[in-house]
Amino acid sequence: MHFIVTDRKEEGNYQSGPLVVLTLRGSPKTPLVDGRLGKLGNTAKNLLKNAIQDPAGTQAPCAALCFRRNCFDLVLRRTGTLSGEFFGNEHCQTGFLPLKVEMLVCWSTVRSGRREKAMGTIRRVGGPFLLTVGCLAVLAIALGDDREARPQSGDQQAKIVMADKDWPVFRGNSLQTGVARQPLPDKLQILWQFKTQDAIEGSAVIADGVVYVGSYDQNLYAIDLQTGNLKWKYQAGPIKAAPGVYKGLVFVGDMDGGFHCLDARTGKKKWTFKTGGEITAGPNFVDDAVLVGCYADETLYKLSLDGKVLWKFKTEGPVNGSPAVVGKQTFVAGCDSVLRILDIEKGKEQAKVDLDGPAGASAAIAGQHLYVGTMNNEFLAVDWKNAKIEWRYRAARNAREFYASAALSEDLVVVGCRDKRVHAIDRKTGKPVWNFQTKGRVDSSPVLAGGRIYVGSLDGHLYVLDLRKGNLIAQFKLGDAISASPAVAAGRLVIGTEDGVVFCLGAKN
């Protein structure tokens, strides 16, 4: 890492690790991100919009830029102007952001756990590097390859795990946060379409440049992400569940109760495990094992990668959601209205929480908090470590069921509902922040990428919304209905429709 300091500008080039996080802080009266983004390049603009936080609890907005395996060239001017150019796989034009900063605050919460100030110097503070010049503080933190955005303060601002270059499981990662690390292009266009013979209700996954998606036509398809060409297909039963990709293998459950393991490259079957009936949720993975829940036989299974049962846990109702994994714990909830916290090694119940309603979706997790909606028209935040409900959210009008899973930002929970709206909820308080009205039920689980929300609706549209205000940025009419959730990787978004068509959106250049 190095800085060049001159009379007119200070330049920083951050190249000190696989993941770099920059934190810029402004005053309450002059926020860093207030919509006056000028001509800032699209990629940098999206990064700036992505996370407005308040680490000190003073309501002073803070912009955090998080990305991986790339560099960010930052120019700070004493006159209060900021420009940035993003290098790596993507490029954007340098521009300027009107900026007046009155407070000098630099937080270091990742390794040192301390706050430091310095004037025009660079010093090592525990692990992070700190630079402060004039009235602006910049913190550059070099992190390991753990794919996590770091916390700001307390567990309510707990780290949000992001998907990396791939989207190998439902919701992108083992904690099911629905967050992509890289932003999507500012202007999306349909790049290709792939037609199946029946409805697609399950989400696609993406790994190593290949899209894997199931259809009710009884096939799992492997499609080239760049071209939309078919690589192979595998016949199973009707497929509603999202697949999962792990260690060169593809796993998927079908509505006939078969759970299939295939070679990801060739589509050749390795084995099939027979459950007691339909499987509607995707798998998750831990070490050399796969977890999958069965709707029909009300059981969560842990299988070895060669298809042997390691343990199984019987619930008291159908299992709807994919199991999240946190360290040595996994979670199962469904139509028995109970969230169960299980030891992942032995499959023993450690604690349970009464949800007061069946859970129809997969849980999303950040720190010790788990977020899940119910068919009792409520969305809940659960402190899973203490086995208690932290808050409950119910829409003020026309409250309906939550069948979608949530996407998590540092301070918001964003989730679709059968009231035809997308809701943004404050993660700390459970209070509403904004909602967006569509023309159909929203069973599609939203994805967060670059400060924007991407979500489908049964009205057939894919919507692009601003994370902070919920404003409509763009919409695409893709089919008669969309209940599947987006998958995001390599600057592209993939989603299926109930017409049986897979769409890939990105930038044509």
Domain boundaries, the chain: 2-153, 179-506
Region 61-69 average pLDDT: 29
Among 152, 125, 142, 4, smallest CA distance to 64 is for: 152
* Residues 274-318: tens digit of each pLDDT: 999 999 999 999 999 999 999 999 999 999 999 999 999 999 999
* Residue 360, CA distances (Å) to 92, 126, 391, 416 in order: 41, 45, 18, 12
DSSP helix/strand/coil, 47: helix
Q: Which carries the bigger pLDDT value, residue 67 or residue 493?
A: 493
Cα-Cα-Cα-Cα torsion 64, 68, 71, 73, nearest 10 degrees, comes to -10
Provide the pLDDT confidence category of residue 148 given band limits of 50, 70 and 90. Answer: very low
Distance, CA of 465 to chain centre = 15
For a pLDDT cut of 70, what percent of the chain falls above it?
68
Q: Which pTM value belongs to this model?
A: 0.71
Among 339, 446, 333, smallest CA distance to 383 is for: 339
Q: Which carries the bigger pLDDT value, residue 289 or residue 60?
A: 289
Region 255-266 average pLDDT: 97
Region 424-432 average pLDDT: 97
* Amino acid 161: pLDDT: 59
Distance CA 371, CA 424 (A): 13
Region 255-265 average pLDDT: 97
Q: Which carries the bigger pLDDT value, residue 471 or residue 86?
A: 471
Single-letter residue type at 448? L
What kind and span of H or E run contains 109?
none
* Residues 346-378: tens digit of each pLDDT: 999 999 999 999 998 999 999 999 999 999 999
Encode burial over 40-63: b for 16+ CB neighbours within 10 A, e otherwise: bbbbbbbbbbbbbbbbeeeebbbb
Query: Which of the four CATH numbers 2.40.30.10, 2.130.10.10, 1.20.810.10, 3.90.105.10 does domain 179-506 have?
Result: 2.130.10.10
Region 56-73 average pLDDT: 29
* Amino acid 509: pLDDT: 74
Is 343 a residue whose pLDDT tops 60? yes
Is 26 a residue whose pLDDT tops 50? no
Q: Average pLDDT over the chain, rounded to whole?
A: 75
Using DSSP bridges, classify how beta strands 325-326 and 309-314 pair: parallel, antiparallel or unpaired. Answer: unpaired
* Amino acid 181: pLDDT: 87
Q: Which carries the bigger pLDDT value, residue 231 or residue 99?
A: 231
Max intra-chain CA distance, the chain: 72
Q: Which carries the bigger pLDDT value, residue 491 or residue 105?
A: 491
Distance CA 445, CA 416 (A): 6
Q: Which carries the bigger pLDDT value, residue 71 or residue 175?
A: 175
Distance CA 412, CA 376 (A): 22
- Answer whether 495's CB lies under 8 Å from 462's CB: yes
Distance CA 42, CA 96 (A): 12
* Amino acid 162: pLDDT: 60
* Amino acid 159: pLDDT: 56
Is 36 a residue whose pLDDT tops 90? no
| Residue partners of 249: CB distance under 8 A and separation at least 6 | 261, 262, 263, 264, 270, 305
Region 197-210 average pLDDT: 97
DSSP helix/strand/coil, 503: strand
Q: CA angle, corner 339, sides to 334 and 344, nearest 5? A: 100
- Residue 314 CB-density burial (10 A; 0-12 exposed, 13-18 middle, 19+ buried): exposed
Q: Which two tokens stand for residue 406?
A: 């949530």
Cα-flanking dihedrals φ and ψ of residue 473, to 5°? -100, -40
